[in-house]
Each structure stands twice: as C-alpha cells, then as structure tokens.
C-alpha cells in the first residue's frame, strides 16, 4: 500500500496537470467538500470516532469518500472487522479515496472543456 505522503504527492501532480483555467477552477470548487471530509476523517483519534464521522458523512453529504470501494458505512465496518484492517491503513485508504475523487473531478472538468 502506498503511503499518505505518496498519495498527496500524486494529488499535487494531478492538479498541476489540469488543462484550462475553467477546468482548474471547477475542480478546486468541487473538490473542497471531499477535502473537508477527508481531513475530518483523518482527524479522528480512534476507529470508533472515524466510523461515527464516516457514517454521518455517508448519510448527509454528497461528497462521500468510498473507502475500499464499499457502498456504505455498514459495509466498511464489516470489512474492517473481517479483514482486521489497521487504523493506519484505514487512514491511508481515506486519502486514496480522496485522490480517486479528485481524479474523477478532473476527468469530468476536462470533458466539459472539449
């Protein structure tokens, strides 16, 4: 698994490669919610507080970070328990999910440019 620092570096590189001022602005505006949610989850001190925040985000926000490509907070809880996922790995996957959201937003913005 990649490190959080490596993923952040990839995200910076992705942003630097966006073409078109309108696309750059659109991505920045759209990504704010994902970034906020990622930072909120990363600020969790325990897996229980993380799950509480994830569940709130999942129910109330359209900028859901789909960690481990699971469709709900309950599925994520079950997966973590079944696979003995560490809290550090969960946080790394959170940043990875944010990076995937960024990639999708960039793709959408660049498609609109053409």
User: Smallest Cα–Cα separation from 31: which of 92, 106, 94?
Assistant: 106
pLDDT value of position 39: 95
- Sites in the chain below the pLDDT cut of 70: 113-114
pLDDT value of position 24: 87
CB hemisphere CA count around 7 (13 angstroms): 19
pLDDT value of position 49: 93
CB 101 within 8 Å of CB 65? yes
- Tokens 């993923």 correspond to 7
pLDDT value of position 113: 63
- Tokens 């994520």 correspond to 76
pTM of the model: 0.87
pLDDT value of position 114: 59
Domain boundaries defined on the chain? 21-113
Query: What is the per-residue pLDDT across 2-22, written as a single tens digit (0 to 9) for each?
Result: 899 999 999 999 999 988 888
Residues 6+ apart with CB under 8 A from 110: 18, 19, 20, 23
Tally Cβ neighbours within 10 Å of residue 114. Answer: 7
């Amino acid at each position: 698994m990649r490190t959080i620092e490596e993923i952040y570096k990839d995200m910076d590189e992705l942003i630097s490669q966006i073409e078109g001022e309108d696309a750059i602005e659109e991505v920045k505006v759209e990504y704010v919610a994902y970034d906020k949610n990622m930072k909120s989850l990363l600020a969790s001190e325990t897996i229980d507080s993380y799950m509480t925040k994830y569940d709130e985000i999942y129910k109330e926000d359209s900028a859901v970070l789909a960690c481990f490509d699971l469709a709900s907070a309950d599925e994520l809880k079950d997966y973590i328990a079944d696979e003995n996922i560490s809290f550090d790995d969960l946080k790394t996957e959170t940043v990875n999910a944010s990076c995937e959201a960024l990639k999708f937003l960039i793709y959408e913005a660049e498609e609109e440019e053409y």
